[in-house]
Amino acid sequence: MITKRFQNKVAESRISLPVTGIYALVMCLLGGMFSGHMWAQFGLLALASFLMMILNNANSLIRIYSRMVSCSFLVLSVMSFFLLSDIKCVAIEVSFISFYLFLFSAYQDKRAVGKVYYAFVMLGLASAMYVQILYLLPVLWIILYTNIMVGCGRTLLASLLGVLTPYWFIGAYYLYQNQTDWLVDHFCSIVDFQGIGLWADVELVKICTIGFVVLLSFLGMIHFRLNNFKDKIRTRMLFEVFSVMSLVSMVVMVVHPQSMDYQLALLIVSTSPMVGHYFALTHTFWTNISFYVILIVSLALTAFNIWFPF
């Protein structure tokens, strides 16, 4: 008989997400988000959390009823409060979650060209705000073949057209404004590397936050690798995508530290489902202890990130 511990009661509770939402609202209030007129960031954060819930439901990421994917995303996002000061970070999260929604819906679909196109439109939108996200393209093309299993000439062409679609409208706007240099500068910045020496100037609390998210990501990867035989093949394929994208985000964060905030936002999106899976589907004494430890560290880092700047 499986013993239901505190972590399982929290993971399976129907009030976990509302309580986490209230917690996020309180933390945003204490952090001065609303007094600083950052309503748009909070609205995008709420939208991203809702999309994470849809991502979980549509793909059955957790084989029991649980809202831990959305809860994990909210806790990690609020913990990394410095990301919310830049609206582009939250907008990129929304775009990337939407990318996952469209991409995963194309799984083994022979008529997936349209879904792949819309997925990469979302990626193109994110690249308009953060062009270095295009580093992910080669990996995503491989994933189309290996994990989504819809790779062919048509879907590759659809992905290229999808990425370019937002630039048709953006280019037309800047052409109308007679500011064509923007597109040139935007794409030239993709090769702007300032060296890993920038890490020496990063605040300790920020390094601790990034390190904690990386640790959780590896915890989720190892847990799923050891227990993936209990899940369906489709679920295994999708979690492999989360694992690969998390690793790619870590690598880009190291070699391109000036974009660490944007990569951390992407890492949180890919890590949250793996953390949610870990909390919802483990039942041992030690995993319950880890739940308490992770919760305490998350709260401590949230407090430091909210009040440290003051």
Examine the pLDDT at 139 and tell me if it is beyond 70: yes
Model confidence at 269, in pLDDT bands (50, 70, 90)? very high
> What integer pLDDT is reported at residue 309 of this predicted model?
57
Percent of the chain exceeding pLDDT 70 equals 97
Q: Which two tokens stand for residue 255?
A: 């070699």
Q: Which SS3 state, helix, strand or coil, does residue 52 take? A: helix
Average pLDDT, the chain: 89
Q: How far apart are CA 262 and CA 239, in angstroms?
A: 21
- Give per-residue pLDDT as tens, 40-51: 888 999 999 999
**pLDDT tens digits, one per residue of 180-225:** 777 777 777 777 776 677 777 888 889 999 999 999 999 999 999 9
- Torsion, Cα 165 166 167 172, to 10 degrees, reads 100
Q: Identify the pLDDT of residue 165.
A: 93
Among 75, 91, 86, CA closest to 209: 75
Do 115 and 102 contact (CB within 8 A), yes or no? yes
Sign of CA dihedral 258, 260, 261, 262: positive
Task: Give the pTM.
Answer: 0.93
| Contacts of residue 61, Cβ cutoff 8 Å, sequence gap at least 6 | 55, 69, 235, 238, 239, 273, 276, 277
110 — pLDDT class (breaks 50, 70, 90) = confident
Confidence of residue 169 (pLDDT cuts 50, 70, 90): confident
Q: What is the mean pLDDT of residues 262-279?
A: 95
Residue 88: pLDDT above 60?
yes
Average pLDDT over residues 56-61: 92
Q: Check residue 47 and give its pLDDT.
A: 95
Closest CA to 103 of 205, 216, 240: 240
- When pLDDT is cut at 50, 70 and 90, the band that residue 94 belongs to is very high
pLDDT at 85: 86
Q: Where are the domains of the chain?
A: 6-307
pLDDT at 229: 83
* pLDDT at residue 173, rounded to an integer: 80
Q: What is the pLDDT of residue 251?
A: 92
